[in-house]
């Protein structure tokens, strides 16, 4: 979900998945003598839920890339210690900028999955 904001997470995830696959192969080859007593419903349920993960990536990526504090240097200073700093993330204010293609892909993916 956070890969668009921190791209180093993609190689870390690839290494972690490869390491998990290798360790599971070793455990199955050396330790497990009996077949599992479960069927494949757990795997099917996990794969059914994973088809929505690109949507989370796109919507969260749009939220991170449209951050005005990073890309437009738009700051709101806190005058009092009791006040909170404004992030300028406003949902009803969607304008055309560098993050618009991600929003278009996210909404088109929702339309494709629903229809």
Among 6, 90, 91, 106, smallest CA distance to 53 is for: 106
Tokens of residue 31, six digits: 């330790």
In the predicted structure, residue 108 carries a pLDDT above the cut 70: yes
In the predicted structure, residue 19 carries a pLDDT above the cut 90: yes
Query: pLDDT for 61-104, tens place per residue?
Result: 888 888 777 777 777 778 888 887 776 666 666 678 788 888 89
Q: Name every residue whose Cβ is closer than 8 Å to that of residue 113 and which is 6 or more positions away in sequence.
A: 51, 52, 55
Query: pLDDT for 21-69, tens place per residue?
Result: 999 899 888 887 776 677 888 889 999 998 888 899 999 888 888 877 7
Residue 72 CA to residue 51 CA, distance in Å, equals 33
Q: Where are the domains of the chain?
A: 1-30+55-68+96-115
Q: Which residue has the tokens 């972690």?
A: 16
Contact 70, 23 (CB under 8 A): no
Percentage of the chain exceeding pLDDT 70:
90
């Amino acid at each position: 979900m956070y890969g668009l904001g921190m791209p180093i997470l993609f190689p870390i995830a690839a290494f972690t998945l490869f390491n998990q696959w290798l360790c599971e192969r070793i455990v199955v080859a050396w330790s497990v003598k009996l077949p599992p007593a479960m069927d494949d419903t757990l795997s099917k349920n996990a794969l059914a839920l994973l088809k929505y993960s690109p949507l989370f990536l796109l919507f969260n990526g749009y939220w991170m890339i449209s951050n005005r504090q990073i890309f437009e240097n738009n700051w709101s200073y806190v005058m009092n210690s009791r006040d909170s700093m404004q992030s300028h993330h406003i949902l009803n204010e969607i304008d055309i900028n560098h993050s618009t293609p991600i929003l278009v892909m996210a909404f088109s993916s929702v339309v494709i999955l629903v229809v």
